[in-house]
């Protein structure tokens, strides 16, 4: 027992700071007016809550797929470029922007394409352009594309030129090379990237909240916040906890796909 003494503080801390809230969340989700029940979870699969859950999944899925495709193109453009400076600059900027979500991102876009934004003023865009589904996609891509670049660049680097040459020597066209050689090698990395992007867009709250997206596009994170603060109706806190449980289930599913994929894709990086 003495041998694991050094690990005890961490284990105790996680049990306290993570375990207790987790238990409180699950217990709350299954408590209806003081008695155990499934009422809250049933509520989250109806009406406005289901709509919010659907919106979140749809938004995250669109952002994940678009972000993955655009990020891969950008990464390939940078990786195949012979300019070291360009490569360094794009990768560093990706590192910054991938971590740059949240409140400032929301205000950058509001200042750009919001109702009083600089670009919307320049082109006379109708008010509310930013506050739509696709407006939110545009905003979320700002941190998703850089994240994809970071995830996929090492995998693209791992595509050896010899493979392309070997394919060409055997008479393969460029299309055949991508279809039968490069894409299969990249698949775990690409899928892992999609899943990671989905997870990060799904969990995002600050950006949507600061933009005030709740009225045009209710998202599950915004619903949870509203239920917690008792904005809507008191007594709905437990529904917020049930929604949280739904989110954790989706996120757990995402991670269950991501972690094995990540392990597979690292095989090609050696």
Partner 1 sequence: MTALAPVAPVPESAPAASRRRDRPRLWRGVVLALAALYFLVPLAASFWYTVHNQSTGLSLSPYAELWTAEGFLTSLLLSLVLALATIVLVLLLTLPAMITVRLAAPRLRPVMEVICTLPLVVPPITLVAGVSRSLQVGGDVLAPTPFWGTLIAIQNQDFPLVLVFVYVVLVLPFVYRSLDAGLRTMDVRTLVEAARNLGASWPHVMFRVIVPNLRSALASASFLTLALVLGEYTVASILGYQPFAVWIVTISGSKGQLSVAASVLSLLLTWLLLLTISGGSRDRSA
Per CB under 8 A, contacts with partner 1 among 102-161 are 102-105, 107-112, 116-119, 141-142, 145
For partner 1, give the closer residue by CB, 126 or 175.
175
CB of residue 200 vs partner 1: minimum separation in angstroms? 9
Stretch that binds partner 1, among 5-13, 38-46, 47-55, 57-65 (CB under 8 A): 5-13
Enumerate residues 169-228 that contact partner 1 by CB under 8 A. 173-175, 178-179, 182-183, 186, 199, 202-203, 205-206, 209-210, 221, 224-225, 228
Burial of 98 (0-12, 13-18, 19+ CB in 10 A): buried
> Per-residue contact track with partner 1, 28 to 57, x per CB under 8 A?
x-----------------------------
Nearer to partner 1 among residue 48 and residue 231 (C-beta): 231
* 36-60 per-residue burial string, b: 16 or more CB within 10 A, e: under 16: eeebbbebbeeeebeebbebbbebb
Q: Does 65 bind partner 1 (CB under 8 A)?
A: no
H/E element, 31: strand 31-32
Q: Contact 200/143 with Cβ under 8 angstroms?
A: yes
- Classify the C-alpha dihedral 49-55-58-61 as positive or negative: negative
32 DSSP β-pair partners? 35
232 binds partner 1 (CB under 8 A): no
Q: Contacts with partner 1: how many residues (CB under 8 A)?
A: 87
Cβ proximity to partner 1: between 72 and 265 the closer is 72
77 near partner 1 (CB under 8 A): yes
The separation between CA 115 and the C-alpha centre of its own chain, rounded to angstroms, equals 26
Q: Provide the token pair at 237.
A: 């806190």
């Amino acid at each position: 027992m003495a041998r694991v003494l050094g690990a005890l503080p961490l284990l105790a801390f996680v049990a306290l700071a993570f375990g207790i809230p987790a238990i409180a969340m699950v217990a709350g989700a299954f408590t209806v007016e003081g008695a155990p029940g499934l009422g809250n979870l049933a509520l989250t699969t109806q009406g406005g809550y289901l709509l919010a859950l659907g919106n979140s999944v749809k938004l995250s899925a669109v952002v994940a797929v678009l972000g993955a495709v655009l990020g891969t193109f950008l990464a390939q453009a940078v990786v195949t470029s012979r300019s070291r400076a360009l490569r360094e600059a794009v990768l560093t900027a990706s590192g910054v922007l991938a971590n740059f979500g949240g409140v400032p991102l929301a205000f950058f876009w509001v200042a750009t394409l919001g109702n009083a934004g600089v670009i919307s003023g320049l082109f006379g865009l109708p008010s509310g352009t930013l506050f739509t589904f696709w407006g939110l996609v545009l905003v979320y891509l700002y941190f998703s594309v850089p994240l994809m670049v970071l995830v996929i660049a090492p995998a693209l680097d791992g595509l050896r030129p010899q493979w392309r040459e070997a394919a060409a020597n055997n008479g393969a066209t460029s299309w055949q090379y991508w279809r039968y050689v490069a894409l299969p090698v990249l698949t775990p990395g690409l899928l892992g990237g999609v899943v990671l992007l989905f997870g990060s867009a799904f969990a995002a709250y600050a950006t949507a909240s600061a933009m005030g997206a709740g009225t045009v596009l209710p998202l599950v994170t915004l619903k949870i916040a509203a239920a917690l603060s008792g904005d809507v109706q008191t007594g709905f806190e437990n529904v917020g906890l049930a929604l949280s449980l739904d989110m954790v289930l989706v996120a757990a599913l995402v991670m269950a796909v991501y972690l094995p994929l990540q392990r597979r894709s690292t095989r090609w990086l050696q």
